[in-house]
Structure 1
Amino acid sequence: MSIDVVQNQTEINAVLGEFKRDRDSLIPVLQSIQGRLGYLPPEVISAVAEHLGLSESTVYSVASFYTQFKFKPSGKNIIKVCRGTACHVGGGERILAELERQLGIKPGETTPDLQFTLDTVACIGACALSPVVTVNENIHGRAVVSKILEAVAQKKGVAVCQCP
């Protein structure tokens, strides 16, 4: 067993010890484990199923239904590009394409160094500020490629590409 799996198992066991063995605890247990580990590694499904007396397929079905749960580690910095109508019309697709090019990943992927995860969302809810991109919890309204790349570069600690 690798060190990561042992460390994960220690965290998983700590979380499970905080919850009753009740099926109503399923989502809070998954949320708590993901809060500690940043995602739900494979060993979570069986451990949670055993603790709560549920089948592994039930635990996986619930975890995979909700988009809040991740099965792969996310990057240290989460970039979300709005794909709502106003943001699409305002240039969100161009921003997304440039982020894909600069980071070398597609939406739903994480850079190999685990520094960035690129995601899209149906709507951020700030249509008057379109196009909108979030970098971690910072909202960038009326976003332009150069400003978003500048925000990403600050997180990377590198120089910014001079893109339009």
Structure 2
Amino acid sequence: MLAFRNYVKANLKNFFRRISTSARLSSEDLYVHRDSDDNNANTPFEFTEANLMRIAAVIQNYPEGAQRAALGACLDIVQRQIGWIPISAMHKVAEILGMPRMRVYEWATFYTMNKRRFRGKYNVKVCVTTPCMLRGSDIILDAVEQATCCSVGSVSTDGMFGVDTVECQGACVNAPVIVVDDDYYEDVNVCDVHNIIQTLRSGGIAAAGPQNGRYASEPIYGLTTLLECPPPPGFGLQAALCNK
């Protein structure tokens, strides 16, 4: 045992030298709530009459006693009304659905589409997963930060834009992709990014979808299959079978 300890001490330095580690990547948001001046239990929030009617319609889709199944839809309605979800709105949703506040906190902190802090009038999300990365998402992210005058995780000084990086947006064949609220902008390049941001800043609506002329997700260099009309029924069958 003594010999083993001496061996470990003698080789400990070399042992740790062989260990390679990468930097820790922390989430941009805390998973727990911290009261602030604009986000606390007393932050004013009330649903509009139209949204109360929407919530009532959603709740009717579920059996009596299962109202909590409408939680995701209710939080989405909150976010569409004011752009984010303060904790006071979570309390209101818990009250309407008759469920513990903790269950609402759990949902809001688990799903990243729930914005628990103000992310600007337009929340610009840049996909940085492998397909987009291979197609230049780092360059696209730089262009977004430059066009919005806003760095990742922050909001521009005029409150117009908030920039975030996100994982796969489910449009890998159209990489690189940026998402602004509900609109997908696919096959983007640096010029496209500046045009989209400038259009939004001026109050216009930028055309969503592929920006390189593609209709959807067809091959970018044209069709590679089904180039001819398919043969008719019975093609290639023996003559004896065709006569029957």
TM-score for the superposition, normalised by structure 1: 0.72
The 8 Å contact of residues 124 and 178 in structure 2, kept in 1 or not, is answered as yes
Query: Quick one: percent identity of the two aligned structures?
Result: 28
The 8 Å contact of residues 15 and 32 in structure 1, kept in 2 or not, is answered as no
Q: Does 1:71 align with 2:108?
A: no
C-alpha distance 69-150 of structure 1, shift in aligned 2 (>3 A): same
Q: How far is the alpha carbon of 1:149 from its aligned partner?
A: 1.4
C-alpha distance 11-43 of structure 1, shift in aligned 2 (>3 A): farther
Matched residue, 1:162: none
Matched residue, 2:68: 23
C-alpha distance 25-77 of structure 1, shift in aligned 2 (>3 A): closer
Matched residue, 1:42: 87
The 8 Å contact of residues 95 and 145 in structure 1, kept in 2 or not, is answered as yes
Q: How far is the alpha carbon of 1:92 from its aligned partner?
A: 0.9
Q: How far is the alpha carbon of 1:65 from its aligned partner?
A: 1.0
Q: Higher Cα Rg: structure 1 or 2?
A: 2
Matched residue, 1:11: 48
More divergent stretch after superposition (75-84 vs 55-64):
75-84
The 8 Å contact of residues 148 and 197 in structure 2, kept in 1 or not, is answered as no
1:90 corresponds, among 121, 135, 143, to: 135
Matched residue, 1:139: 185
The 8 Å contact of residues 119 and 155 in structure 2, kept in 1 or not, is answered as yes
Structure 2 Cα separation of the partners of residues 26 and 50 of structure 1: 11
TM-score for the superposition, normalised by structure 2: 0.51
RMSD: 3.1
The 8 Å contact of residues 126 and 137 in structure 2, kept in 1 or not, is answered as yes
The 8 Å contact of residues 9 and 43 in structure 1, kept in 2 or not, is answered as no
Matched residue, 2:235: none
Unaligned runs of 5+ in 2: 1-37, 203-244
2:150 corresponds, among 105, 109, 129, to: 105
Structure 2 Cα separation of the partners of residues 133 and 67 of structure 1: 16
Structure 1 Cα separation of the partners of residues 184 and 103 of structure 2: 35
Structure 1 segments, 4+ long, off by >6 Å, are: none
Unaligned runs of 5+ in 1: 158-164
